[in-house]
Amino acid sequence: MLDPVWLRSFLTVAETGGFTEAARRLCIGQSTVSQHVRRLEQVTGRQLFVRDTHSVMLTGDGEALIGFARNILDQERLAMSYFARPELRGKVRLGVCEDLVLGHLPVTLQRFRETYPLVDLELTVELSSVLHDRLAAGGLDLVLAKRRTEADGHLLWREPLVWVGRPGLRLAKDEPVPLVLYPEPSLTRARALEALRAWGLQWRIGCWSDRLNGLRAAALAGLGVAVFARSVVPEGLVPVEADLPPLAEVDFAVLGGRRAGHGPAAALTQLITTARWP
């Protein structure tokens, strides 16, 4: 067995270039350091250092052992860190907007469960504006959604909205633009209608649904054009080739309630803010 204590002495000798300096750094006797190295040589059956009265040099086998020793000690530190931490328990009430449920959310939740297996999660999926209101009322601990103003929460990423529809969709030039949208108070809906008004275009609501799969089904059926952030466009929908106004960008952010600064909610906030987003 490669005892981590022996390996630590071995690495320190290799780093300092001598047994005396290694003993001083480790705050143990030189004879103890020598004994650790000697036991490693016995276990491996290899000479690890070439010694003379003036220097200590690693052998080829000693060089090879350095990588193994560092890996073993790194794993030991990780294990001790894992088991030394207090087990986090409790519940987090997380609200997530419809757009993120199928795309970005599962990987983040998987990491949270693996890291904090004793924390229960209460997941609410709704429109971003609805989640903002529930957070303000104390019904949620965290919200991962589009933000209404730049003062809301911690920005995760910003990206443009895009007009999308089924492949090959063509819009009649002299007719109102058929739309497939979330209901009010959807932020995406508001941005789309603002853009159409700015261009003086007429529209009609071909279909509305408060669920992402409902919008996807309606758009794939050709009931109209939908609006999504570029990274969350549902499968099967493509950008619409039509003379439509450019859309504003949208911000995705994490917002915290009264309990977000400690316990499970703080742990989930940290994981969300350090995750890789588009």
pLDDT tens, 21-49? Answer: 988 888 899 999 999 999 999 999 999 99
Over range 13-17, report the average pLDDT.
90
Residue range of the domain that includes 121: 90-157+252-274
In 3D, which of 54, 13, 59 has the Cα closest to residue 36? 13
pLDDT tens, 206-263? Answer: 999 989 999 999 999 999 999 999 999 999 999 998 889 999 999 999 998 777 778 8
Same domain assignment for residues 16 and 42: yes
Same domain assignment for residues 134 and 149: yes
Taken in order 79, 81, 117, 98, the sign of the CA dihedral is: negative
Task: CATH number of the domain at 70, please.
Answer: 1.10.10.10
Q: Which of 46-60, 82-96, 229-243 has the highest mean pLDDT?
A: 229-243
Same domain assignment for residues 267 and 238: no
Same domain assignment for residues 117 and 166: no
CB atoms within 10 A of CB 40: 21
pLDDT bin (cut points 50, 70, 90) of residue 85 is: low
Same domain assignment for residues 8 and 71: yes
Taken in order 75, 80, 85, 86, the sign of the CA dihedral is: positive
- Residue 265 vs residues 14, 32, 141, 241, 260: alpha-carbon distances, Å: 45, 48, 7, 43, 5
In 3D, which of 130, 268, 215 has the Cα closest to residue 205? 215
Domains held by the chain: number: 3
pLDDT given at position 101 = 83
For the question of whether the overall pTM of this predicted structure is more than 0.85, the answer is no
Q: Are strands 90-97 and 56-58 parallel, antiparallel or unpaired?
A: unpaired
